[in-house]
């Protein structure tokens, strides 16, 4: 069964450094998402992406964050200058179409030192 894949599974970065989290969504899916889960808290929406542009972003998704779909398969989340509070699990998800469920990858654990 096709699945969403995320790399790396764990990323350790110094505060202030840039980090890029990578995702390969399911191939025939059209809608892409990033979520994050800080330890002990809910999974929370960051950004949605459709037709090569951001369709919605949360208040968390400030100027330090960006997303890109550089080719037909990858979907990336970049954090320009990481902060301690960016430490979390980051999940990528994709969806095929209307009233279709989102399918999630296994996440990247981001640890900021």
Partner 1 sequence: DQQVKQNSPSLSVQEGRISILNCDYTNSMFDYFLWYKKYPAEGPTFLISISSIKDKNEDGRFTVFLNKSAKHLSLHIVPSQPGDSAVYFCAASANGGGSNYKLTFGKGTLLTVNP
Binding flag, residue 55, partner 1 (CB under 8 A): yes
How far apart CA 44 and CA 19 sit, in angstroms, is 19
Q: Out of 26, 35, 61, 88, which residue is the one contacting partner 1 (CB under 8 A)?
A: 35
How far apart CA 83 and CA 89 sit, in angstroms, is 14
Q: Out of 36, 48, 79, 110, which residue is the one contacting partner 1 (CB under 8 A)?
A: 48
Q: Which residues have CB under 8 Å from 27's CB, separation 6+? A: 2, 73
Residues found near partner 1 in the complex (CB under 8 A): 4, 6, 31, 33, 35, 41-45, 48, 50, 55-56, 91, 93, 95, 98-99, 101-107
């Amino acid at each position: 069964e096709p699945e969403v894949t995320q790399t790396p599974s764990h990323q350790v970065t110094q505060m202030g450094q840039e980090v890029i989290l990578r995702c390969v969504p399911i191939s025939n899916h059209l809608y892409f998402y990033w979520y994050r889960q800080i330890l002990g808290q809910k999974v929370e929406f960051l950004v949605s992406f459709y037709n090569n542009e951001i369709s919605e972003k949360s208040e968390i998704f400030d100027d330090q964050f960006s997303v890109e779909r550089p080719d037909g398969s990858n979907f990336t989340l970049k954090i320009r200058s990481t902060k301690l509070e960016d430490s979390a699990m980051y999940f990528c998800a994709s969806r095929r179409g209307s009233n279709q469920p989102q399918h999630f990858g296994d996440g990247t654990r981001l640890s900021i030192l």
